[in-house]
Amino acid sequence: MKAAVVEAFDVPPRYRDFDEPHALGDEVIVDVHAAALSQLVRAQAAGKHYTSGEPPFVPGADGVGRLANGERVYFAFPRGPVGAMAERVAVKSAHTVALPDDVDDITAAAIANPAMSSWAALSERVLFKSGESILINGANGVSGRLAIQIAKHLGAKRVIATARNSASEAELIALGADVFISLSQSSALLADQFRQEIARGVDVVLDYVWGPAAEAFFLAAAGYGSGDAARRIRFVNIGSLGGASIAFSASTLRSSGIEIVGSGLGSLSTLALVRSVGSLMQVVNSLKLRINTESVALEHVEAMWSRDSGARIVFKI
């Protein structure tokens, strides 16, 4: 069969023949129709993610296709070395979920990963409740913009959005954010703005950036000195676009209401992630969730791999 194949970590995948997968006891074969090129998949193919395999392998964490009975499904984490960017994959039956007819293949493949990041974090990791307030740290990316809309759908009382590009303020407010905070300011000024929002009430932080912006938030939350307990804040790290490491003092935990968790592969089971995508797909059209996509035939994978078109690239298979 044809597939995109990672032959070395320092070069893009090539379109070539690869061994056909065969289903084991609890698996099904999916004829793949579409698979998105996400940051996760790029990192895996570059050997920079904790789930990266050893070459040669087929990249791709998830996709859309059909089962032997004709049912159209979303699938996640097919058994290696054959990832989603192949004509066929073997995947556990439990890691597939039926797709509604009103969500097309390209949209489903493109939106699953970025939208699931906030949906799963809120529904699975912090058990978000309607009426709570959310700060989305790094809201200008695809995932962050979807997170604003999802937070409002789930009943967020207030949504505070941060971004490095101040020009995005109007767009993020239009999506549903109530407050905008620029990350392009000094750490002291940023911490002061965070401190003001914490005083107004922040229950959950969805953090896509980590790095200095997370340090500024923890600085703002630390040092609570009254006789009352600090407000509980569930801080969920989802990404680290601003840096993989930060300086963090133990006193921050002792003097604040901060509770830090992560949301991603390992902190959530694949079954939970797939369940989240299944719930998400049911509301894609009712919420008018949209994502800018560029669909490309898989045979062009080598040329398209490093391209930044401003849209989510989805390979058609």
In angstroms, the CA 224 to CA 257 distance is 9
Q: What is the pLDDT of residues 234-284, one digit of tens each?
A: 999 999 989 989 999 999 999 999 999 999 888 889 899 999 999 999 999
Give 2 or 308, the one with higher predicted confidence.
2
Does residue 13 register a pLDDT over 90? Answer: yes
Which tokens belong to 44? 């895996």
Q: What is the pLDDT of residues 133-151, one digit of tens each?
A: 999 999 999 899 999 999 9
* CATH fold label, 114-262: Quinone Oxidoreductase; Chain A, domain 1 (3.90.180)
Kindly give, in sequence order, each residue whose CB lies less than 8 Å from that of residue 173, ignoring residues fewer than 6 positions away. Answer: 161, 180
In angstroms, the CA 217 to CA 209 distance is 12
* pLDDT of the residue at 223: 80
* pLDDT of the residue at 224: 62
**Cis peptide preceding 81, ω within 30 of 0:** yes
* pLDDT of the residue at 225: 60
Which tokens belong to 230? 């600090």
Average pLDDT over residues 181-185: 96
| Average pLDDT in the chain | 94
Q: What is the pLDDT of residues 36-64, one digit of tens each?
A: 998 889 989 999 877 788 999 999 999 99
pLDDT class of 173 with cuts at 50, 70, 90: very high
Does residue 199 register a pLDDT over 70? Answer: yes
* Least confident among 57-61, 108-112, 184-188, 286-290: 286-290
In angstroms, the CA 74 to CA 60 distance is 13
CATH class of the domain whose range is 2-102+285-316: alpha beta
Burial of 169 (0-12, 13-18, 19+ CB in 10 A): middle
Does residue 306 register a pLDDT over 90? Answer: no
Query: What is the percentage of the chain residues whose pLDDT exceeds 90?
Result: 84
Domain ranges in the chain with CATH number 3.90.180.10? 2-102+285-316, 114-262
* Main-chain dihedrals φ then ψ at residue 73, nearest 5 degrees: -135, 155
Does residue 22 register a pLDDT over 90? Answer: yes
Cα angle 21, 62, 240; round to 5: 130
* pLDDT of the residue at 239: 92
Query: What is the percentage of the chain residues whose pLDDT exceeds 70?
Result: 98
* pLDDT of the residue at 206: 98
pLDDT class of 6 with cuts at 50, 70, 90: very high
pLDDT class of 308 with cuts at 50, 70, 90: confident
Q: Which among 51, 52, 100 is positioned nearest to 74, based on CA atoms? A: 100
As beta bridge partners, residue 180 has: 161
- How is 235-264 classified by DSSP, letter by letter? EEE---TT-S-----HHHHHTS-EEEEE-S
State the alpha helices, DSSP H only, in the chain: 39-45, 105-120, 142-153, 169-175, 187-200, 211-221, 250-254, 270-281, 301-304
* pLDDT of the residue at 226: 63
Burial of 291 (0-12, 13-18, 19+ CB in 10 A): buried
* Least confident among 19-28, 177-186, 289-298, 305-314: 305-314
The CA distances from residue 76 to 49, 172, 226, 238, 294, in Å, are 17, 30, 48, 18, 21
